[in-house]
A and B are shown apart, each in its own frame.
Chain A
Amino acid sequence: MSKLIKEDIDKFFIAQFESFENSLNGESKKPLHSKRKTAIDNFKEVGFPHAKHEEYKYSNVAKIFSKLFDVENLSDDSFSLSLDEAAKYFIPELNAIRLVFINGVLDSKLSDLDTLPKGVHIQAIKTAADDYADDFEKHFNTHKIEGADNFSELNTAFTNGGVFVKIDANAVVETPIACYYFNDAKNADVISQPRNLVIAEKNSQASLIESYVTLGENTSFTNAVTEIVIEDDCIFNYYKYQNESDQAIQVGATMVHQLGKSVFNGVTLSLNGAMLRNNLNIAIHKEHSETNMYGLYLLDGKTHVDNHTVVDHKVANCESNEMYKGILDGQSRGVFNGKIFVRQDAQKTNAFQSNRNVVLSDDAEVDTKPQLEIWADDVQCSHGATVGQLDLDQLFYLRARGIDKQTAKSMLLNAFASDVLSNIKIEAFRTLIENKINERL
Chain B
Amino acid sequence: MFDFRFYEIWRSEEFVQVLFEGAFNSFWLTTVGGIFGFILGTGLALLQDKSVFVGLRLLARSYVEIIRNTPFVVQMFFVAFGLPILLDMQWSFFASALLAIMLNFSAYFSEIIRSGIDSTPKGQIEAAYSLGFKKYDLVKDIILPQALEKVYPSLVSQFVFLFLTTGLISEIGIEDITWAGRFISDRNFRDFEVYLVLSAIYMSMSWMFILILNGCRRKLFPWRAEK
Whether A and B are associated in the same complex: the answer reads: no
